[in-house]
Amino acid sequence: MALATRVAKALYASFDPPGLNLWQSNGEAGGQEVPHVHLHVQPRLEGDGLLRIYPHGAPEPADRAALDRLATLIQRHVRL
């Protein structure tokens, strides 16, 4: 992440983009295209359509109770 931060700062200094994404994909369903870990550092423009992952519009947010149930399930597996 330290290197990703350095690259992100260099992209901002070089191109002054209005936004930037960091993403890493795992598994075919997650969009992984190459079989090793790598992090994308992508400058973004308004309306560039790069990550158009919801072709029919973004889903409605989950209600608070559903989010709390998911958090409880995840917390069982978090190791600090």
What are the DSSP calls for 8-68, one per residue?
Answer: HHHHHHHH--SEEEEE---SGGGT--SSS---EEEEE-TT--TT---TT-PPPPPPHHHHH
Q: What is the pLDDT of residue 80?
A: 64
For residue 55, the model assigns a pLDDT of 72
Domains of the chain: residue spans and CATH: 1-52 (3.30.428.10)
Residues of the chain with confidence (pLDDT) below 50:
none
Q: What is the phi/psi pair of residue 40, to 5°?
A: -85, 135
CA–CA distance, 7 with 17 (Å, rounded to integer): 13
Q: Given this model, what pLDDT does residue 21 score? A: 92
Residue 29: per-residue pLDDT: 87
What is the predicted pLDDT for the residue at 78?
Answer: 81
